[in-house]
Amino acid sequence: MLKFLLFLGLVSLLLVSPVWAVSDPRSNPNNIVGINILSPEAEIEEAASLVNSNGDWGWAVIVIKKSERNLDRWQGVFNLMARYHLIPIVRLATDFDDLGYWRRPSEEDVKDWADFLSKLYWPTKNRYVQIYNEVNRASEWGGKVDAFGYAVELNKTIDALRAKSSDFFILNAPLDLSLETAENALDAAVFLQTMENTSSGVFEKLDGWASHSYPNPGFSASPLASGRTGIDGFKWELNMISDYINNRDLPVFITETGWRRANKTGGLSEEQIAQNYKIAFEKIWSDARVMVVAPFVFDFPEALFNEFSFSANNDEKKYYDYYFAVKDLAKVKGEPVRENLASDLQISQSYLIIQDFSSEVTLKISNIGNYIWNTQEGLSLDAKSENMEVGPVVWDREEVYPGQEITGTFKVKSKVEGTLPFSVKIRDGDQVLAQKDITFLSETYLSLFINALKTVFDIIG
């Protein structure tokens, strides 16, 4: 009876608490420092220098628009991020309409996003995706705030992504916590309540909570100012949704924050912003729930958001002072979960070889994991047979990024006649990526000639 009751308890727990296959980022050492980058190809190396200085594997928030879903382009971006040890958080976006609003997603967008994102090879096992942005602003949702409509879209997108892979780590669209209800805006509390009331259970399906915890009012408040509009605004949000998620302990992703640099209408000095970042990272964002803090923005040269930019790129300086404050922070050497995986090993060769003569063997294998293979440092061939000589492998490329195939060729020479078992292993360092056992038939030219004669005599009787 006791075992039966324990079984019922386990089943009930599974029914009320969704369990996803994603890896909890809190389980490994994590570097919380991140940055928003708008031109990834041009900014990844510099961004990595900022977030990984004194640590490793920081974060970068990138925006992919509907009209930019080009696999070659974004695989190239992901390859760069893998090289420079940046964990991407992909923010989904539509495109602007004629009024300058972000369009509402169309009916087919759910499927198209799932197809596109599932075809990319990511730098880490978890695939972090933020489902749109500040949707309590009309300008972010086709000109009209619609909490129910967003909840439906979020639900559908989560289901579509998870149908493709259990590695997708789903984040909500962060809200603008400073807004009050008006014609083109909806108070964050009302927005969250409406989502749950009209689409119950949607918050339970999230893997983490995305927040825009800005220092308001005016993006100029003290880092010690606590509350809904402070840089710890995520605490208010978690309290708001706690009943909706059965008090689950969600990790927090601050995908935008930052202070406004002084201009004619206000803002703070570079020195004050630098000091604020030091205080914030050391005293506020050190909260164990915070997985990443990604200030907005690394480089925005145009006037619209230039006052938030870390990159100056002018005649006086390359970076603003607060860039160095963040760069010099003590950071963790992050160790996100990654998988070193390979496709099935393909070997092409003639199974009949001539004793004492070299024969060429060709193999092919694809990188389908999160690591970059390097033939000069880690990738190697381990081929063995007791009665065969095996020559060195020649690879057709030096580096193999996720999604790429590599071809290797090597020569073998048999020492004896007969059936010769042959074992092939591909290693990356100490890890065996793939292995295959094959068999060669070794003959001499004389034995082949004799067998051919026998065949002719058998035919002519």
Which residues have a Cβ under 8 Å from the Cβ of 299 and sit 6 or more positions away? 37, 38, 39, 43, 309, 310, 311, 313
Q: Is the pLDDT score of 453 beyond 70?
A: no
- Can you tell me the distance from the alpha carbon of 409 to that of 396, in angstroms, rounded to the nearest whole number? 8
Look at residue 8 and tell me whether its pLDDT is greater than 90.
Answer: no
| 226 contacts 232 by C-beta, under 8 angstroms | yes
In a domain, 441, yes or no: yes
Query: Do both 316 and 376 map to the same domain?
Result: no
Instruction: Tell me the C-alpha to C-alpha distance, in Å, between residue 257 and each of 42, 143, 372.
Output: 22, 24, 32
Asked if residue 9 belongs to a domain, the reply is no
Q: What are phi and psi of 11, to 5 degrees?
A: -60, -45
- Say if residue 277 is in the same domain as residue 399: no
> Percentage of the chain surpassing pLDDT 90?
87
The CATH number of whichever domain residue 455 belongs to comes to 2.60.40.10
pLDDT tens column, 67-86: 999 999 999 999 999 999 99
> Average pLDDT, stretch 5-29?
58
Torsions phi, psi for 371 (to 5 deg)? -95, 160
Nearest to 149 by CA among 108, 180, 181, 191: 191
Percent of the chain with pLDDT over 70: 92
- 3-state secondary structure (DSSP) of residue 113: helix
Kindly give, in sequence order, each residue whose CB lies less than 8 Å from that of residue 169, ignoring residues fewer than 6 positions away.
22, 25, 126, 127, 128, 129, 207, 208
Closest alpha carbon to 310 in 329, 293, 296: 296
Q: Does residue 456 register a pLDDT over 70?
A: no
> SS in 3 state form for 303-358?
CCCHHHCCECCCCCCCECHHHHHHHCCCCCECCCCCCCCECCCEEECCCEEECCCC
Q: Is the pLDDT of residue 18 over 50?
A: no
For residues 188 and 311, state if they share a domain. Answer: yes
pLDDT in tens, 231-265: 999 999 999 999 999 999 999 999 999 999 998 77
Count how many residues are written for the chain: 461
Q: pLDDT-based confidence at 13, cuts 50/70/90?
A: very low
Q: Please state, in angstroms and as integers, the Cα–Cα distance from residue 227 to each residue in 81, 125, 177, 252, following that order.
A: 34, 34, 10, 16
> pLDDT of 344-387, one tens digit each?
999 987 788 999 999 999 999 999 999 999 999 999 999 989 99
Return the CATH number at 266: 3.20.20.80
In a domain, 206, yes or no: yes
Query: Which one is predicted more confidently, 26 or 8?
Result: 26
Tokens describing residue 142: 């086709």
Examine the domain organization and report whether 267 and 385 are in the same domain: no
- Within-domain flag for 4: no
* Residues 294 and 378 both lie in one domain: no
CB 214 within 8 A of CB 258: yes
pLDDT digits (tens, 9 = 90+) for 415-425: 999 999 999 99
User: In the numeric block, which tokens belong to residue 24?
Assistant: 């909890």
Round to whole Å and give the CA distance between 428 and 445: 39
Element (H, E) at 36: strand 34-36
Last residue of a domain, one of 327, 360, 377: 327
Looking at the structure, tell me whether residues 246 and 318 fall in a common domain: yes
Q: Is the dihedral angle over the CA atoms 110, 94, 88, 188 positive or is it negative?
A: negative
* Confidence at residue 139, expressed as pLDDT on a 0 to 100 scale: 98
**Has residue 17 got a pLDDT over 70?**
no
Residues 206 and 289 in one domain: yes
Q: Is the Cβ–Cβ distance between 59 and 51 less than 8 Å?
A: yes
Tell me, yes or no, whether 386 lies in a domain: yes
Tens digits of per-residue pLDDT, 174-215? 999 999 999 999 999 999 999 999 999 999 999 999 999 999
Give the model's pLDDT for residue 446: 65
DSSP 8-state symbol, 166: T
Do both 100 and 39 map to the same domain? yes
- pLDDT for 282-310, tens place per residue? 999 999 999 999 999 999 999 999 999 99
**Within this chain, do residues 379 and 308 fall inside the same structural domain, yes or no?**
no
320 shares a domain with 429: no
pLDDT value for 4: 39
Residue 54 domain flag? yes
Among residues 273, 292, 327, the one where a domain terminates is: 327
Q: Is residue 432 part of a domain?
A: yes
The band of 1, judged by pLDDT with boundaries at 50, 70 and 90, is very low
Is residue 443 within a helix (H) or strand (E), and if so which, with residue range? Answer: strand 431-443
Mean pLDDT of the chain: 93
Residue 341, domain member (yes or no): no
Domain boundary residue, one of 327, 356, 375: 327
The SS3 call for residue 456 is helix
Predicted local distance difference test score (pLDDT) of residue 459: 73
Note whether 256 and 195 are same-domain residues: yes
Q: What is the pLDDT of residues 47-66, one digit of tens each?
A: 999 999 999 999 999 999 99
Q: Are residues 221 and 151 in the same domain?
A: yes
Give the pLDDT score at 350.
77
Distance CA 176, CA 179 (A): 6
What is the total count of domains within the chain?
A: 2
CB 185 within 8 A of CB 139: no
Distance CA 360, CA 381 (A): 15
DSSP state of 392: P
Which residue range is the domain that position 429 belongs to? 346-460
